[in-house]
Structure 1
Amino acid sequence: MENIANVAGMGKWAVLLDGNNRPISYDEIVSYGEDGAMVTLERRGLYLKRLIIECDSALSAEETFNEMIMNSEREEAVLEGII
């Protein structure tokens, strides 16, 4: 873990995605890997950077997460023929 740059308190947040690009949660970024490929989220742990969407604040992360959830639900409804 010596190659981790600490960024705690800088206000960077992220929306965490699963392998199908669906949102799982949002959390504060506490560190980046030295090579930039990994990100540590405060309550979720270490993830590949390609599985997150970076946001400038907790509010923008929450809004992004909520919008992605609504879009995902809308897509599922269309596929099921509800809409």
Structure 2
Amino acid sequence: MDDLCEHCQFNLGYIVDHIKEININNINDPMFTLNHDNFQYLCLECHNKKTFGTPKEKIREGFSFNELGELVYSPPIK
């Protein structure tokens, strides 16, 4: 059985994502990092939006999203 993305409810989800992000303060706490209540099932598009924001918001210069929604290096055109 295929499961839909928990965010968009449209695409198939296949990425297990932490709802509350892992950071330097909680990375060594298995009650946080391995807690099933902190997991969500996302498609690549929703995962990238959550993690990286929209292209105009958070993507560092020299990077972009390709047609698959993957973050890739793309040097600026001079």
TM-score by length of 2: 0.23
Higher strand residue share = 1
Point out the structure with the larger helix share.
Answer: 1
- TM-score normalised to the size of structure 1? 0.22
